[in-house]
Amino acid sequence: MRNADAEIVIRVRGLVTRFGPQVVHDGLDLDVRRGEILGIVGGSGTGKSVLLREIVGLMRPAAGQIEMLGTDVQQATEAERAMLESRIGVMFQDGALFSSLTVRENVEVPMRAVPGLDPATRAALADLKISLAGLPYLAGDKYPSELSGGMRKRAGLARALARDPEIVFLDEPTAGLDPIGASAFDRLIHRLSRAMGLTVFLVTHDLDTLHAVCDRVAVLAERRVLVTGTMQEMLDVDHPWVHDYFHGPRARAALATAGKE
Amino acid sequence: MTDAAAEIDTVATEPALILRIRGRLTLAEMAGAGARLRAVAADRPVTLDLSRLLRLDTAGAWAIVTLRARLAAEGHALRIEHAAPEVESLLVAVEAALPRAESEPRPRRSLPDRLDALGRRVAGAGHTGAEMLGIFGLFLARLGRSLVHPREFRLTALVHHCEEVGFRAVPIVALMAFLIGVVLAFQGAVQLRQFGAEVFVVDLIAISILRELGILLTSIIVAGRTASAFTAAIGSMKMREEIDAMRTLGLDPAAMLFVPRILALLLMLPILGLIANVAGLFGGGLMAWLTLDISPGMFLTRLVDGTDVENVMVGLVKAPAFAVIIGVVGCHAGMKVGSNAESLGRQTSSAVVAAIFAVIVADAVFSVFFAQVGI
């Protein structure tokens, strides 16, 4: 049924990214396996969000190959791109909801591309996605400007999940949320990814999120993916930045809370 | 494995109706198999056989769960057989998240509601007028204050806005007035030639441009250019909470933002009006020379003899009033911008419309006034 490397849904090889004279990625390799939640961490300016944008095809790298779901992202034809886009979902940092549409209409936008779907079914499925993302039923009628930051993120997630993608990309999903809201969002991501069999590509700074939901962590440093592995393996890496990151006071606090749960 | 569309086999056995789903039940199938599944009519308990199901997503799970809910409401049970563990857990998750329809139907708008809405809009218009008057008062108060405390006055900002509002508008204003002069001369010539009164085209051009068109059209162009720029600049600062930040830092938004902008308009609009007058007369004179053989010297003599300088005064005295209207409307709309980009766009376009409208209304009021006092 499946060939051997179908297990890897995103394969990045030899990625080079430059902004003028500044080199962000230099020979970056990364594999994302089907069904896992992969956390991408790294200092500010190490190109985490840039990597995300390159994988989903919003930016072109200077060199290197990106393969997603068996398709070369950069060589893809229009039809292949459309096919690919229907199989992925992206949640941007502040939700990036269309401000002139209600939350329900926002979630319906990706579903409009599905042929033959009648408006009533579409609205009902949008309501289901809104509810799955943990928003109250009546939030569907609201406009993005009427929602709090946390609710906007949930609405953004609902839109990213609208077409039941195989891979979702989340850019700093818990940034700017209060700790209760952030941990609720962590549980939501975990629950959804397990229930829907999602692969999650998660860019984050939040150590609690890493502990709570990520199966594997990839550390971006020195213009490449320095190490990948589970949280436990990260603790044993003796690269100075990685060590500081996972052994700093905040990391220990996050580890302590994760241990208690 | 094929991308087989989902098929539903229906087998009616004695105790139960057996539905067997083959293929993938996903969002793409909702128009076909999903709709058929949800529309299944049953007169006995139903068993759903998922042993041949290839893939299920939340849309498919939703179809199954809503079918189960409907059958339960009709008094028939739905039993799911041979579901894989992940299918099972997806069904559970979707069932738990199924939104309960708690929305009440939208209330219909009755006649009193409509009257109420109309009344509110009228009251709102009055309120908006009062707010604009408030901004004008604030401008005067802060201007007076900076006369007492000259050090607080933001001269750099004033010069910057004078350049933006005045200097950069010179080409478009001059070109517009030149073309208006050309058109007036041409049209006037066609009409006046019938009476052999071609030479009066000079009076026609001079009076219409100096009294009315020069300053009115300049103000309309400036309203379009500058009211929108004021609204966009102040509105985007409002949107990003910069104005709140100014308040908390003890900086007065009125003194920082309104005074330099409105004052720049107040200084620049008369100058632009004068430029428009000159350009309009030049255009008219050129056209008169080309089509009516009225030489520039003759044009000038006729202009000086036949047109009182009062006409220029009547025109330019309106400029400060128009400047205040444009500036106040632009600043007011900027302060009305909410927290989203859409309101910025809406306020910007409404500022332009309101400023142009208000300028034309004010011009009409001036005309009536001058007619009454006999100037």
Contacts of B30 in chain A (CB under 8 A): 114, 116-117, 121, 125
* B254 and B139 Cβ atoms separated by less than 8 Å: yes
Query: Is the predicted pLDDT of residue A4 greater than 50, yes or no?
Result: no
Question: HSE-up of B278 (CA within 13 Å, CB side)?
Answer: 8
Asked whether residue A171 is assigned to any structural domain, the reply reads: yes
Chain B residue with the nearest C-alpha to that of A121: B30
Predicted confidence (pLDDT) per residue in A191-212, tens digit:
888 877 889 999 988 888 888 8
Indicate the pairing of strand B17-25 with strand B46-49: parallel
Q: Bigger pLDDT: B303 or B106? A: B303
Do A130 and A250 belong together in one domain?
A: no
What are the φ/ψ torsions at residue B79 (nearest 5 degrees)?
Answer: -110, 135
Assign residue A25 the CATH number of its domain: 3.40.50.300
CB-neighbour burial class of residue A153 (10 A; exposed 0-12, middle 13-18, buried 19+):
buried
Query: Which of A83, A105, A114, A194 should be substituted to probe chain B, the one whose Cβ sees the most B Cβ atoms within 10 Å?
Result: A114
- The mean pLDDT of chain A is 85
* A165 and A198 Cβ atoms separated by less than 8 Å: yes
- What pLDDT score does B38 carry? 75
Q: What domains are defined for chain B?
A: 7-97 (3.30.750.24), 126-373 (no CATH)
Asked whether residue A75 is assigned to any structural domain, the reply reads: yes
Do A142 and A170 belong together in one domain?
A: no
Chain A closest-CA separation from residue B132 CA (Å): 26
Asked whether residue A92 is assigned to any structural domain, the reply reads: no
Contacts of A192 in chain B (CB under 8 A): 93
Do A104 and A188 belong together in one domain?
A: no
Do A64 and A177 belong together in one domain?
A: yes
If DSSP codes are grouped into helix, strand and coil, which group holds residue A97?
A: coil
Q: Which residues contact B322 (CB under 8 A, 6 or more apart)?
A: B215, B219, B222, B269, B359, B362, B363
Residues in B lying within 8 Å of A, measured between beta carbons: 1, 26-28, 30-32, 34-35, 57-59, 62, 66, 86, 89-90, 92-94, 97-103, 338-343
Asked whether residue A43 is assigned to any structural domain, the reply reads: yes
Contacts of A132 in chain B (CB under 8 A): 58, 93-94, 97
- What pLDDT score does A92 carry? 87
* A210 and A235 Cβ atoms separated by less than 8 Å: no
- What pLDDT score does B100 carry? 67
**Distance, CA of B306 to CA of B207 (rounded, Å):** 10
**Alpha carbon separation from A245 to A51, A203, A236 (Å, rounded):** 20, 15, 12
**Alpha carbon separation from B113 to B118, B120, B121 (Å, rounded):** 9, 10, 12
End of a domain among A164, A193, A210? Answer: A164
Handedness of CA B44, B47, B48, B49 (dihedral sign): negative
Do A188 and A241 belong together in one domain?
A: yes
**Alpha carbon separation from A194 to A197, A214, B224, B263 (Å, rounded):** 5, 12, 56, 63
Predicted confidence (pLDDT) per residue in A74-94, tens digit:
888 888 888 888 888 899 887
Predicted confidence (pLDDT) per residue in A22-48, tens digit:
888 888 899 999 889 999 988 888 888
Mean pLDDT of A213-235: 87
Q: Model pTM?
A: 0.68
Asked whether residue A206 is assigned to any structural domain, the reply reads: yes
Separation of first and last alpha carbons in chain A: 39
**Alpha carbon separation from B111 to B115, B120, B124 (Å, rounded):** 6, 14, 20
- What pLDDT score does B282 carry? 94
Token digits of residue B228? 């929108």
> Residue B30 is nearest to which of A121, A127, A194, comparing CB atoms?
A121
Do A63 and A170 belong together in one domain?
A: yes
Flag if B58 and A161 touch (Cβ within 8 Å): yes
Chain B residue with the nearest C-alpha to that of A161: B58
Predicted confidence (pLDDT) per residue in B187-234, tens digit:
988 888 888 888 888 998 999 999 999 999 999 999 999 999 999 999
- For residue A49, what are the domain limits? 4-87+166-260
- What pLDDT score does A5 carry? 45
Tell me how many degrees the CA angle B307-B223-B206 measures, rounded to the nearest 5. 10
Do A47 and A57 belong together in one domain?
A: yes
Token digits of residue A11? 């394969």
Asked whether residue A72 is assigned to any structural domain, the reply reads: yes
Asked whether residue A18 is assigned to any structural domain, the reply reads: yes
Asked whether residue A204 is assigned to any structural domain, the reply reads: yes
Do A141 and A217 belong together in one domain?
A: no
Query: Which of B29, B37, B62 should be substituted to probe chain A, the one whose Cβ sees the most A Cβ atoms within 10 Å?
Result: B62
Do A67 and A182 belong together in one domain?
A: yes
Query: Is the predicted pLDDT of residue B127 greater than 70, yes or no?
Result: yes
Residue with tokens 């044009």: B299
Do A171 and A223 belong together in one domain?
A: yes
How many structural domains are present in chain A?
A: 2
**Alpha carbon separation from B6 to A125, B30, B34, B55, B92 (Å, rounded):** 19, 10, 8, 10, 21
Amino acid residing at B337? V
Mean pLDDT of A134-150: 84
> Residue A99 is nearest to which of B92, B103, B342, comparing CB atoms?
B342
> Residue B90 is nearest to which of A99, A144, A196, comparing CB atoms?
A196
Do A206 and A245 belong together in one domain?
A: yes
Flag if B97 and A125 touch (Cβ within 8 Å): no
End of a domain among A109, A139, A164? Answer: A164
* A37 and A9 Cβ atoms separated by less than 8 Å: no
Flag if B340 and A161 touch (Cβ within 8 Å): no
Query: Is the predicted pLDDT of residue B2 greater than 70, yes or no?
Result: no
Flag if A128 and B94 touch (Cβ within 8 Å): yes
Contacts of A161 in chain B (CB under 8 A): 58
Query: Is the predicted pLDDT of residue B42 greater than 80, yes or no?
Result: no
Name the nearest CA neighbour of B362 among B132, B63, B36: B132
- What pLDDT score does B26 carry? 82
Do A75 and A101 belong together in one domain?
A: no
End of a domain among A146, A164, A182? Answer: A164
